[in-house]
Amino acid sequence: MKDRSLFKNRLPALVMDDADRILEMLGPMPADVLAAMVDYGLSDTEIGRYYDLPHDMITTLRDYWGIVGNP
């Protein structure tokens, strides 16, 4: 299983304020929440709108955690 920690291998574009915001919006298991939302068939834009996060942040996180979107 791939390590889905927000902090172990920080993304260059992910600053601590972003990490705090992600944890606040998605909860303590953000990768699992994001994977579930993708499994529900939601796009990055829809997920971002739902959680009040920029869609490009959702895309970056999904790419980082290896969460593949639905075609």
Which residues, other chains included, contact 51 with Cβ-Cβ below 8 Å and sequence gap of 6+?
25, 26, 58
Identify the pLDDT of residue 18: 80
pTM, rounded to two decimals: 0.74
Task: Check if the beta carbon of residue 23 is closer than 8 Å to that of residue 30.
Answer: yes
Give me the pLDDT at residue 1, please. 45
Does the pLDDT at position 2 exceed 70? no
Any idea where the domains of the chain sit in the sequence? 16-65
Determine what percent of the chain is predicted with pLDDT higher than 90.
54
- Would you state the structure tokens that stand for residue 40, as one six-digit string? 């529900």
pLDDT in tens, 31-58: 999 999 999 999 999 999 999 999 999 9
Q: Is the backbone of residue 64 left (phi > 0), alpha (psi -120 to 50) or beta?
A: alpha
pLDDT grade, residue 71 (50/70/90)? Answer: low
Question: Nearest-CA neighbor of 52 among 13, 17, 24, 19?
Answer: 24
